[in-house]
């Protein structure tokens, strides 16, 4: 299976920030946006993924490159 398009997503959810995989499975969540992004980067590195996608609730806000 080709995982080159797989990404980790950070999404707001009722005062929390959810970190999800490409399929929408919840990996973790945090009350702090920056902490959620940091954790998403760590998870992306562990999985060999290059991108974290930050959502603002209405769509993609930013794609964050991850150095592996």
Rounded CA-CA distance 7/33 in Å is: 17
Give this prediction's pTM: 0.86
Total length of the chain: 68
Res 67: pLDDT? 86
The pLDDT tens digits for 9-18 are 999 999 999 9
Cα-atom radius of gyration of the chain, to the nearest Å?
11
Which portions of the chain are predicted below pLDDT 70? Answer: 1-5
């Amino acid at each position: 299976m080709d995982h080159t398009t797989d990404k980790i997503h950070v999404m707001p959810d009722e005062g929390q920030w959810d970190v999800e995989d490409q399929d929408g499975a919840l990996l973790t969540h945090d009350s702090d946006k920056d902490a959620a992004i940091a954790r998403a980067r760590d998870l992306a590195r562990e999985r060999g993924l290059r991108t974290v996608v930050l959502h603002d609730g209405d769509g993609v806000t930013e794609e964050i490159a991850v150095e592996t």
